[in-house]
A and B are shown apart, each in its own frame.
Chain A
Amino acid sequence: MSLIKEWVFTTDHKRVGILYLIGSIAAFAVAGLMALIIRAEQYNSGLQIVDTQDTYNVFLYFHGAAMILGFLIPGLTGFMANFIIPLQIGARDVAFPRLNSFSVWLFWAGIILALLTFVIPDKPDVMWTGYPPYSVTTAGNTAFYVFTVHLIGFASILASINFIVTIIYMRAPGMGWNQLPMFSWCTFGAFIIQLIFVPVLAAAVTMLLLDKYVGTNFFNPTNGGDVLLYQNLFWFYSHPAVYVIFLPAMGALYEIVSTMGKNPVFNYKAAVYGGVCGIVIVAGEVWVHHLYVAGMPDWLRIGQMVTTLLISVPVGFMVISLWGTLYRAAITYNIAMLYAAACFFLVLLGGLTGIPLAMTVLTVNLSETSFVHAHFHFVMAIFAAFAVFASVYFWFPKMTGRSADTKLGVLAFWLNNIGVQVTFWPLFIIGLQGMPRRYADYDMFAGLNFEKYHHISTYGAILTAVGAALMIINWVWSAAFGEKVKNGNPWGSNGLEWTHAACPAGPGNFPEDVTVGPEWSAYDYSKYGK
């Protein structure tokens, strides 16, 4: 009983982080199950697995909403930011611990509300985007969608304030901005983006709620509203949200690649001031690429094609820096490093397929096809999910004081890694030939023989599902019964969380206050092995 009380009322950032992890993995598991059903349904044309198209639409809605709002954003900015940042910057906790605890329970309320989708009548079926007028006229319960966004949105805004203040004011004495570890820098950027843009999403879905239940006409053209207003507001947040996911994922990769390769981060300042700051600056000027076929003015579509393509510049700074960190490294592979290695190829695959999609005129053919579906799964969903998985393995000893099972972990890694490639490559191919997204039934394309590609894709999804299940079993089992780590710094890192805190880190994080000198760097391995 006291244990439950301890966790429910905890203000310790590490426990809050683990609560985020449990909630987001729950969302991941249920939404992953939905993905499996969706793939099984698409295995053949026509309806076989689900009873009606409407059920299929509910599963699509849940998969998208729960994966993005319930798994990726809370996994990266909830779990990882909470667990890692205070330890990494030498702070004893976040700036506002009670606010932090409030955020995580708001997030949990959001997850529970999302899960209620399956028991309420009139299940929401508005996709994770909730476009009106459909979301207003549908019989589905759009309010559940809106309130889920509200709860998780508030959690995000509070977390943003909390971590921005923490990083600015609570760094260990002596730690300058140019010594700030990469994960903290990247996540700092992500929280700035969140603080600016989440309120816009909250406003958009609130207008949706008013339109549906109160009778306002923000999005109703027959009474002077505009259907595109919502899409602009929605993507004004939701494109930057991609960077809220991308940046912490990149940050974690820097930590893992640098530590396991015993190499400093290559061209750190370019990655920080060009990459992180550049992404924060361009994040808000590219949303129209989600509306390339939505009848926006031509000058806007062309202008934002240029800004969208220019994202490659700040991302390029980070990519060059990440690749450079491998140069003449001394890599020791563990499960975290395997996931990190896979991320190199995922970010290439997902990033480069974004280039045709950045081009307005090519998107005229590609938008809303499986090509887009495969693109954003690689660059946002799988890349970021692999970064989360890598981080769980990497910081596992710090969380639990135990190490995860290597054999099971490696087996699950290969199932996941091969599974996602097998799942999404066929979707690129049929997407180019016109296979639309969000279809349960594709009889009209009978002549193009899409079924065999859907077969391959479904087999890939099964591999991934087995891999993900084994991975979660591994975490749960190892957290309880895994081998205890004897060494407080198993990976030989020079980060403060490894050199100054125990495994697992106790209350208050550090036995004594941490200060760092001007020469200190988290990526200085000169003392390693001596």
Chain B
Amino acid sequence: MKRIYSAIWGGLLALSAGPAMASTAAPARNDYSVSPNEGWDTLWNTVLLDITVIGVVFGFAALYMLFKYKASGPGQIGKLPKLSRAQAWGFALLPAAVFMADDFYLSAKGWTLWNIYRRVPENALEVKLVARQWQWEFDYGQGVKTDTLVVPQGQPVVLRMTAEDVIHSYFIPHFRVKEDVMPGRVTYLWFMPKDLGTFVSVCTEFCGTGHSNMPADVKVVPPGEFQAWFASNRQAAAPAPAAAPAADPAAPAAAPAANPS
């Protein structure tokens, strides 16, 4: 079913935006040379340029006409020329064509990056995220649960997210990712932590009293440091000996499929 819909939308897009599509074909499935946040910034700059050009052209046109065409005295009437039939069609279809071309151009660009955003790399570190009023809990498996997201530099991270009570939304501004976290559903997002450092993540879906007080730190650390951190946390979680053998076979089975798309 999903494939049929994709085909219909894709077909519509390709038919009406052939030229624009050609230059921005979807990337190969495992092409992750562009990380989502870098792609976001590039696309944002393109769109910002696009809307700035339109805004400046129309803004100055309006400003010019609002000053230029002031009535010089009472009784004066405007001199808008009467449009011929061809001119009327022209002034309708030409702007429509330009706007439509821009729409399809931006759609194609947006779709390309969207594919990167939704296709999780196979080597991604999977972390489960459970949201509740008003905290986040990151579950690495093997008994490691934290309220801070610690990730190794240079390895993609995928969060499989669900909520226990109401809808939340997990947002890491630095990595330009956000997805709602809902009861009864599992959603996901992935990002590429290239920069070392500590970044803030917050809730962006209104969830009640503590909505603006549920930040969590995202710490990007060198891979060696991550391994050490993970090992020490696993030991801290280990003391109950029964948990240790159960964790290994059970955790992967319980995890959602790695790549739903």
Q: Residues of A with Cβ closer than 8 Å to B?
A: 52-54, 57, 125, 127, 131, 133-134, 137-138, 221-222, 225-228, 261-264, 266-267, 269-270, 274, 293-295, 297-303, 305-306, 309-310, 312-313, 316-317, 319-320, 323-333, 341, 344-345, 348-349, 352-353, 355-356, 359-362, 364-365, 367-369, 433-434, 436-445, 525-526, 528-530
B177 contact set on A, CB distance < 8 A: 364-365
By the criterion CB–CB under 8 Å, are A137 and B103 in contact? no
B107 at the interface (CB under 8 A from A): yes
CB nearest neighbor in B for A359:
B110
By the criterion CB–CB under 8 Å, are A305 and B110 in contact? yes
B91 contact set on A, CB distance < 8 A: 266-267, 270, 320, 324
Minimum CB–CB distance for A260 against chain B, Å: 9
By the criterion CB–CB under 8 Å, are B212 and A327 in contact? no
By the criterion CB–CB under 8 Å, are B103 and A310 in contact? yes
CB nearest neighbor in A for B107:
A306
By the criterion CB–CB under 8 Å, are A441 and B213 in contact? yes
A134 contact set on B, CB distance < 8 A: 166-167, 206-208
List 30 A-B pairs, Cβ < 8 Å. Answer: A53-B211, A127-B206, A134-B167, A134-B208, A221-B183, A222-B184, A227-B184, A227-B185, A269-B88, A274-B92, A293-B179, A294-B180, A297-B2, A298-B114, A306-B103, A323-B65, A329-B78, A331-B69, A331-B71, A344-B62, A353-B51, A356-B48, A356-B51, A362-B43, A364-B176, A368-B171, A368-B204, A434-B174, A436-B203, A444-B202
By the criterion CB–CB under 8 Å, are A57 and B209 in contact? yes
Among candidates B70, B102, B204, B209, residue contacting A436 with C-beta atoms closer than 8 Å: B204
Minimum CB–CB distance for B38 against chain A, Å: 12
Interface residues of B in 83-123 (CB under 8 A from A): 83, 88, 91-92, 95-96, 99-100, 102-104, 106-107, 109-111, 113-114, 117-118
Q: Residues of B with Cβ closer than 8 Å to A?
A: 2, 5-6, 9, 12-13, 40, 43-44, 47-48, 50-51, 54-55, 58-59, 61-62, 65-66, 69-72, 74-81, 83, 88, 91-92, 95-96, 99-100, 102-104, 106-107, 109-111, 113-114, 117-118, 165-167, 169, 171, 173-174, 176-180, 182-185, 187, 189, 200, 202-213, 215, 261
Among candidates B95, B202, B208, residue contacting A320 with C-beta atoms closer than 8 Å: B95
Q: How far is the CA of A356 from the CA of B210 in the complex (A)?
A: 30
Minimum CB–CB distance for A337 against chain B, Å: 9
By the criterion CB–CB under 8 Å, are B184 and A221 in contact? yes
Among candidates A137, A316, A525, residue contacting B96 with C-beta atoms closer than 8 Å: A316
By the criterion CB–CB under 8 Å, are B206 and A309 in contact? no
By the criterion CB–CB under 8 Å, are B212 and A436 in contact? yes
B183 contact set on A, CB distance < 8 A: 133, 221-222, 227
By the criterion CB–CB under 8 Å, are B173 and A361 in contact? no
